Amino acid sequence: MKNNNCESCMMPLSKDPGQSRSEQYCSYCFKDGKFTYEGNDVNEFKKGSYAEMIKKGMNPIMAKFYTWMIGFAPRWKK
Ligand SMILES: [Zn+2]
């Protein structure tokens, strides 16, 4: 079964405006064959993602919701 959400940030890959050339990750998380954030601290990743969403003009309530969703992404499962 094909996963249609980014395994790092949970964004639907169908909404990905870029080209990550990955079936698992969106172009925000994965670029040129590597992760844009290479650490393994989900909280740090969430903070960066939230800031990005706000910068793109997203409603803070939606941004908070999407940030919360990141915690369920396969990449961060221990
Ligand atoms: Zn992603």
Q: What is the pLDDT of residues 7-43, one digit of tens each?
A: 999 999 988 988 888 889 999 999 989 999 999 999 9
Cα 58 to ligand 1 centre (Å): 16
Predicted TM-score (pTM) of the model is 0.87
Q: What is the pLDDT of residues 43-68, one digit of tens each?
A: 999 999 999 999 999 999 999 999 99
Query: Can you give the residue range of the structural domain that contains 37?
Result: 13-76
For the chain, how many structural domains are there in total?
1
Alpha helices in 25-77 (DSSP H): 42-55, 60-70
Give domain status of residue 4, yes or no.
no
Give domain status of residue 70, yes or no.
yes
Q: pLDDT category, 1, cuts 50, 70, 90?
A: very low
Cα dihedral 33, 39, 40, 44 sign: negative
Give domain status of residue 8, yes or no.
no
pLDDT of residue 2: 60
Cα 9 to ligand 1 centre (Å): 4
Cα 29 to ligand 1 centre (Å): 4
